C-alpha cells in the first residue's frame, strides 16, 4: 500500500528585507504601461532584435480560456495549445524540450512555486537526496522569498514560470517581455541567479513567444510529455484523488514496460498546494523503483550551467547518476 503523506502546514505571512513595492508589476497582475514606460523596461525591450520575432497576432480569451476557433489546421505558428507542436516553423527558433533524451529517466519538475507551506515537501526531497526542477512564478517569489531561497540552497534547479501565470500567446509583445523579465529580476534579486530555462503556463507557447524568450537569453523552453493532472485534483479541481493516482500508476507502469527504453519522460507535477505536494511524496518511492534515474531537467539535458552566472554549476547526467 502507498504511504499517505498529509501536509497540514498553513501559510503564515512574514516580513522580509526584500522590497517589491517598486520596480516590479503589481503581484499577480500582467505588467502594464506603468512598467513599460520605465527606462529599465525600455532598455530590455529595445535590446531585442524584433526582426527575429515572427509577427503573430495574440490570441483572445473567451471565458478565461484561450480561443482556438478560426485558427488554421496547418498550425503555421507551431502553437502548442492547438496541436502540441514543439518544433518551430520560424527560422532560428529553438525547439521546445519535451523529453529527457536519457533512457529510463524521469525528469522531475514541479510548477507554480515557491509555496508558502512547502517545507515538509522540501524536507522530504532533501531526505531522499533528490533534486528537481522548480518552475517559479515571479509573484510567488515576491510573496515567499525565503521559500525561493531554500530551493537554491537545496540544489534544486530554478526556472521561470512567468510573473502572473497567463496564457502567454494571448499577451502583447510588451506583456510577454514583462512576464518573463520581471520574473527573472525577482529570482535574481532573491536567489542571486538568472535562470536560462522557462515553462509557459498551460504549455501555451507559439513561435512568437518562443522567439521573444530566446531573445531574452532563455536557452530552453521546457514542456512535458506526461501530465499527472495533479493540478486538477479535488477540492479545487474536478478529478478525484483516485483518478490522479491512476495517472501516476500508468506512468509507473511505463517505467517498467519498456516505454522509455530509448529516451525518458518529463513529467508535469505541481508545488501548487498541500494536496499536490502530498501526492508527489506518496508516489515518489514507486517512481524511483520504476525508473532507473529520477533527475532535474538540467541534468537530463546535460546542462551543467543552467544560469547566466558562470560561477554556478550543476553535475552532468553521468556525475549526478554515478554512471561515469
Task: Give the torsion sign (CA, 169, 172, 174, 179).
Answer: negative
Catalytic pick from 77, 96, 270, 275?
270
Q: Which cell goes with 25?
A: 508589476
Residue 35: name the closest of 23, 20, 21, 45 by CA.
23
* CA dist., res. 284 & res. 79, Å (int): 32
Query: Residue 229 in contact with residue 235, Cβ under 8 Å?
Result: no
Chain-centroid distance, C-alpha 303? 16
39 is catalytic: no
Chain-centroid distance, C-alpha 196? 12
* CA dist., res. 170 & res. 65, Å (int): 10
* CA dist., res. 67 & res. 81, Å (int): 10
111 is catalytic: yes
Extract the runs of DSSP E, i.e. beta strands, from 17-144.
61-62, 65-66, 105-113, 133-136
Instruction: Tell me if residue 106 falls in helix, strand or coil.
Output: strand
* CA dist., res. 298 & res. 151, Å (int): 15
Catalytic pick from 111, 204, 206, 207?
111
Q: List residues with catalytic annotation.
A: 111, 270
Amino acid at each position: 500500500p502507498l504511504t499517505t503523506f498529509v501536509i497540514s502546514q498553513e501559510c503564515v505571512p512574514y516580513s522580509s528585507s526584500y522590497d517589491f513595492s517598486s520596480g516590479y508589476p503589481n503581484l499577480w497582475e500582467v505588467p502594464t504601461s506603468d512598467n513599460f514606460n520605465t527606462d529599465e523596461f525600455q532598455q530590455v525591450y529595445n535590446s531585442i532584435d524584433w526582426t527575429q520575432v515572427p509577427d503573430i497576432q495574440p490570441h483572445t480569451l473567451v471565458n478565461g480560456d484561450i480561443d482556438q476557433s478560426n485558427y488554421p489546421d496547418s498550425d503555421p505558428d507551431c502553437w502548442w495549445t492547438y496541436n502540441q507542436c514543439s518544433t518551430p516553423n520560424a527560422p532560428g527558433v529553438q525547439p521546445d524540450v519535451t523529453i529527457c533524451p536519457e533512457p529510463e529517466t524521469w525528469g522531475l519538475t514541479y510548477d507554480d512555486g515557491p509555496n508558502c507551506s512547502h517545507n515538509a515537501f522540501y524536507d522530504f526531497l532533501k531526505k531522499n537526496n533528490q533534486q528537481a526542477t522548480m518552475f517559479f512564478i515571479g509573484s510567488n517569489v515576491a510573496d515567499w522569498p525565503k521559500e525561493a531561497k531554500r530551493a537554491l540552497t537545496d540544489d534544486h534547479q530554478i526556472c521561470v514560470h512567468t510573473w502572473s501565470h497567463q496564457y502567454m500567446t494571448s499577451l502583447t509583445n510588451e506583456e510577454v517581455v514583462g512576464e518573463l523579465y520581471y520574473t527573472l529580476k525577482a529570482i535574481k534579486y532573491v536567489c542571486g541567479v538568472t535562470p536560462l530555462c522557462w515553462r509557459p503556463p498551460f504549455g501555451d507557447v507559439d513561435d512568437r513567444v518562443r522567439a521573444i524568450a530566446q531573445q531574452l537569453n532563455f536557452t530552453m523552453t521546457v514542456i512535458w510529455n506526461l501530465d499527472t493532472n495533479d493540478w486538477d485534483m479535488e477540492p479545487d479541481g474536478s478529478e478525484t484523488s483516485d483518478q490522479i493516482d491512476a495517472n501516476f500508476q500508468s506512468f509507473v507502469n511505463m517505467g517498467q514496460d519498456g516505454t522509455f527504453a530509448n529516451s525518458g519522460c518529463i513529467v508535469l507535477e505541481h508545488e501548487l498546494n498541500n494536496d499536490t505536494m502530498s501526492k508527489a511524496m506518496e508516489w515518489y518511492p514507486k517512481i524511483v523503483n520504476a525508473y532507473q534515474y529520477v533527475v532535474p531537467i538540467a541534468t537530463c539535458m546535460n546542462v551543467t550551467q543552467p544560469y547566466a552566472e558562470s560561477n554556478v554549476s550543476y553535475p552532468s547526467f553521468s556525475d549526478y547518476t554515478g554512471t561515469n
